[in-house]
Structure 1
Amino acid sequence: MSAGSITRRNVLGAGVVSLAALSFPAIVRAQSLKSLKPVNLLADWVYGGPNAGLVVAKEKGFFADAGLDVTINQGKGSGSTAQIVASKAVQFGFADGFVVGNSVSKGMKLKMVAGVYRRNPCAALVLEESDIRSPKDLEGKTVGIATGSAQFQQWPAFIKGAGLDASKVRVINVDGAGAGPALISGQVAAIAGFAQGYIPSIEIRGKKKVRAFWYADEGVTAMSNGIIVHQDLLADPDLIRGMVRATMKGFLYGRANAEEMTQIVKKYQETTDPAITLREAQLSWSTWVTPTTANKPLGWMAPEDWTATVAVLKTYGGVTTPLEAAELYTNEFVPTEAEFIPPQNV
């Protein structure tokens, strides 16, 4: 038989080799998946530009690189996420720091282990076409705010910081879903909420330009969204450290690769509009850095910002129990490498 002859044995042998070659990567992947630690993460809301880093971290394999098999679920608000993390139904949550502080004051054993929106994202929003050019012009107007929300609780602080006469501003309850339409239709002259949650849809879908009066510009400091855990999970520092590192990589990668980020979000939430997702993300990026967190890695939280947050909670948020800033957060698990320092916007 010549060297070039093909026999049944040759064919079978080649088939076995080919099958083994094809199967080997799959076997390795399966074994790798088995070695990953299952983890649950609950978002604050539906997937979008603001929390895109969560799904980017999963899609790009950053969680897997950290040895984690992360299941992410969409949330129904930071208050709900905080309660579920406090119940230990999930290990990690993405929620608002102001809400977390309020929750801890009520006995929930929570800790923020990384901060992302480190500048207060709350703002009073008006249409550019209106006659409202400054916060002072809100006097004599009706403002829609969701009762019980962080922006509602912080509203008196905004009023004071802006030098407004509270008796001259009418505040009515408008839920989150109805706020944008209420502003566009003229039912209210202004709404208050997370700027990144409202401005994009009003401007892109509603075709109306928006003017924002940021709470932070009126001296209302409040830590916003970050990664939270039940305090008992602090006993597993390697798990938290890996989760924080991977999540921060997800947010930073999404910012550096914005178009890809919008497509990843759309994969996980098909109803999203990439243009809105991008605008949401851009507004969120403006909340990543404060004067006290300048040139610090994403995730790192300034003691001064948490102290100011607690002061707002005690003065305006209805907190009457003893509450110290140090109870609410830790920077122990935040990566320190320069690659985690985000672009500076202050």
Structure 2
Amino acid sequence: MPPRRLLTATVPFALLALAATACGGDPETSTSDSGKKLDKATLTLNWYPYGEHAPFYYGLKQKIFEKHGIDLEIRAGQGSQKTVQATGAGQTDFGWADTPAVLAGVDQGVKVKSLGVFLQTTPASVQSFAATGITSPADLKGKTIAGTAGDALSKTFPIFLKKNGIDESAVKVQNTDPAGKIAAVISGKTDALLGYASDQGPTMQDKAKKDVSYLRFSENGLNFYSNGLIAGQKTLAGDGGDLARRMAEAVSESFAAAEKNPEPAVAAMDGASEQLPPETVLSEQFTTTLTLLHTDATEGKAPGVNTEADWQQTIDVFAQAGLVKSGKPVGDYWDTAHGMKG
């Protein structure tokens, strides 16, 4: 996770509860320039804005959210876990969070559900400088990898190794603070890091001016859901869930529009955050994000359309990894009534 993510956000997360608009019940309203009545809504991201988030800003610029009757405010987050908690507590109407954090939150009693996972192919990967020569799982033997104890990447890495016939003891995972993983690779303290191909790699390449290679979990036998749109019980219950339905449709349409217009979508992020990466990094992050939108089961469908089988596979992976105690039924995590329809 890049150091930029730990800098002070424009809207500190601790103030969300004080700054939040009314969540649940009847949404607060505003009026568009054209005189259309809009429901105010807040979306808290998984972290500070980076390339993956371009569709949200493009959707605002192209008035896609307005078309669906939504006056959207986008807020920086401080990690998926906190976004899940804030969404469940009604401090934000919607959240953008990693599915493992959603599964863990629901298992702990947090009242949230997914309206659709958009990054359906995991960006989880081992990232290294190309010169290191890590091009296959077998190349990891004897290497030292920067990872963060307890996070989804470190929990699933042993499963990745097992699926590729590698003994866990053959690879050393060095516990590293998320903000220090890139520095560990650049300084040579570790050979690689565990990260997301749509995030850390482009930043590391920009900082070091060296080519970065990716050993993706999804290309080596292990896939699971990543980031998606979530809502809390108050939002889902308020106005019969109509706002949630419209939000899911607006986000899907925004992703589809951004996919067709990647350069304008990235340009729409200008000014989104003081911690915004350079445009070249944003572009590479978003280009990678576009490779993650579907599984074989959802290819050709609108962004955010999920299948029960893909959900079950994800639940099974994280039950095996120990991130959930015992997988609940898919319907406990995924709201099909208000989310995207196939």
- Taking structure 2 as the reference length, the TM-score comes to 0.85
**What residue in structure 2 maps to residue 237 of structure 1?**
241
The Cα offsets for residues 168-197 of structure 1, whole Å up to 9 and x where unpaired, read as 211112222221221122110111111111
**Cα distance in structure 1, aligned partners of 2:198 and 2:34:** 41
**What residue in structure 2 maps to residue 298 of structure 1?**
303
**What residue in structure 2 maps to residue 99 of structure 1?**
101
**Cα distance in structure 1, aligned partners of 2:300 and 2:331:** 22
Alignment of 1:115-130 (within 5 A): 115-130=117-132
Residues 120 and 223 of structure 1 are in contact (CA less than 8 Å); yes or no, is this contact kept in structure 2? yes
Alignment of 1:28-67 (within 5 A): 29=32, 32=35, 35-67=37-69
**What residue in structure 2 maps to residue 320 of structure 1?**
325
- Among candidates 197, 222, 225, match of residue 223 of structure 1: 225
Compute the displacement of 1:98 (Å). 1.5
Matched, 1:264 2:268: yes
Residues 58 and 269 of structure 2 are in contact (CA less than 8 Å); yes or no, is this contact kept in structure 1? yes
Residues 113 and 228 of structure 1 are in contact (CA less than 8 Å); yes or no, is this contact kept in structure 2? yes
Change (3 A) 1:297 1:332: farther
Q: What SS class does the counterpart of residue 146 from structure 2 fall into?
A: strand
Residues 57 and 63 of structure 1 are in contact (CA less than 8 Å); yes or no, is this contact kept in structure 2? yes
Alignment of 1:205-220 (within 5 A): 205-220=207-222
- Among candidates 238, 248, 259, match of residue 255 of structure 1: 259
The Cα offsets for residues 297-345 of structure 1, whole Å up to 9 and x where unpaired, read as 11111211111111111111342245222211134445569xxxxxxxx
**What residue in structure 2 maps to residue 330 of structure 1?**
335
Q: What SS class does the counterpart of residue 330 from structure 1 fall into?
A: coil
Compute the displacement of 1:29 (Å). 4.6
- Taking structure 1 as the reference length, the TM-score comes to 0.84
- Among candidates 141, 146, 154, match of residue 156 of structure 2: 154
Tell me which amino acid in the other structure corresponds to 2:197: A
Residues 119 and 288 of structure 1 are in contact (CA less than 8 Å); yes or no, is this contact kept in structure 2? yes
Residues 116 and 340 of structure 2 are in contact (CA less than 8 Å); yes or no, is this contact kept in structure 1? no
**What residue in structure 2 maps to residue 109 of structure 1?**
111
Greater fraction helix: 1
Q: What SS class does the counterpart of residue 132 from structure 2 fall into?
A: coil
**Cα distance in structure 2, aligned partners of 1:70 and 1:195:** 28
Change (3 A) 1:185 1:66: same
Residues 204 and 276 of structure 1 are in contact (CA less than 8 Å); yes or no, is this contact kept in structure 2? yes
The Cα offsets for residues 124-146 of structure 1, whole Å up to 9 and x where unpaired, read as 11211013331112111111112
Residues 224 and 313 of structure 2 are in contact (CA less than 8 Å); yes or no, is this contact kept in structure 1? yes
**Identity level (%):** 27
**Cα distance in structure 2, aligned partners of 1:248 and 1:289:** 12
The Cα offsets for residues 148-184 of structure 1, whole Å up to 9 and x where unpaired, read as 2221121121111121111121111222222122112
**What residue in structure 2 maps to residue 171 of structure 1?**
173
**Cα distance in structure 1, aligned partners of 2:288 and 2:178:** 18
Unaligned runs of 5+ in 1: 1-27, 338-346
Change (3 A) 1:163 1:77: same
Q: What SS class does the counterpart of residue 334 from structure 2 fall into?
A: coil
Unaligned runs of 5+ in 2: 1-30
Change (3 A) 1:318 1:242: closer
**RMSD, matched Cα:** 1.9
Residues 119 and 228 of structure 2 are in contact (CA less than 8 Å); yes or no, is this contact kept in structure 1? yes
Runs (4+) of structure 1 exceeding 6 A deviation are none
**Cα distance in structure 2, aligned partners of 1:213 and 1:324:** 31
Residues 297 and 334 of structure 1 are in contact (CA less than 8 Å); yes or no, is this contact kept in structure 2? no
Q: What SS class does the counterpart of residue 271 from structure 2 fall into?
A: helix
Residues 112 and 328 of structure 1 are in contact (CA less than 8 Å); yes or no, is this contact kept in structure 2? yes
